[in-house]
Structure 1
């Protein structure tokens, strides 16, 4: 069992739960996943640093944006374990996550544009329909709606014959 040096400002799991809105079971889960590492007092009870509030808030926000626990763990692993993270520490993570979010936004905008024309078409023109996939030809490109994801469909005129 790991015992960190604890200060008088160490917080109980109940206090962390109240501050973050997370259930104690969720906090223990994030601990099991290596996202936070509380110390223990002499009785073996978990004691959290105030900086764990920010870490857990970051976890909640990141999950809401679609990042996986593994991606969040990797980002948090770059933060110092022996002190509260500084603005510069958080800025490094923000830049990395920001670049990924920009890429996701670009993919979503492209998908929205394609869906606007696809959903509204009523499939009146199979020559331009991004969902039309005769004989499952898109399978060779991978799973999912390949043409909506950006893959180029084969010549539609030969596909309809």
Structure 2
């Protein structure tokens, strides 16, 4: 007979996360469990896909709040389908493209000035004499220009 509910340890092992991660996701409302008669957590199999979706989204740089909002658009506890994933991913694509562009700029400027001066002392007098860039705001202001 096939086991219907999964233990927290089984889900953690199958998903490649720590048990504490599953507890954290549950606390944040990203996944749900039930309790057996011994008060132990039990998960439906759909949690495997939900955790995989969470991990994939996090690798793209999507925040847990954004993930939670996206998962809230699905009917309660439903397994995300391929179509669900395509829709969710399309919403995150613009942010991912912006992060890629930012990282490419960082890569290309890393050996020169990145705007704040602290990593390019040899170039600072050329790009940021008397710290004029501080007038444009905090952080790597040259890098943040598009």
Shorter-chain TM range is 0.7 to 0.9
Contact residue 111 and residue 149 of structure 1 kept, 8 A: no
Higher-Rg structure is 1
Q: Partner residue of 2:69?
A: 74
Give 4+ residue runs of structure 1 displaced > 4 Å after superposition.
none
TM-score (norm 1): 0.72
Q: CA deviation at 1:150?
A: 1.1
Is the CA contact (8 Å cut-off) linking 2:112 and 2:123 kept in structure 1?
no
For residues 45 and 148 of structure 1, the distance between their equivalents in structure 2, rounded to whole angstroms, comes to 50
Superposition deviation, residue 52 in structure 1: 0.9
Distance 1:125 1:113, change over 3 A: same
Gap runs ≥5 in structure 2: 115-119
Contact 1:115 1:148 in 2 (8 A): no
Which runs of no fewer than 5 residues in structure 1 stay unpaired?
Answer: 1-6, 152-161
Q: How does 1:16-95 map to 2 (within 5 A)?
A: 16-95=11-90
Matches of 2:34 and 2:74, distance apart in 1: 17
Q: Which residue, 106, 109, 114 being the options, matches 2:109?
A: 114
Q: How many residue pairs end up in the alignment?
A: 140
Structure 1 CA distance, aligned partners of 2:138 and 2:60?
23
SS at match of 1:92: helix
Aligned-pair distance for 1:75? 2.0
Deviations 1:87-125 (A, max 9, x none): 211111111122211111112222333335438x87368
Normalised by the length of structure 2, the TM-score is: 0.78
Looking at structure 1, the residues matched to 91 and 129 of structure 2 have their Cα atoms a distance apart, in angstroms, of: 37
SS in structure 2 of the partner of residue 93 of structure 1: helix
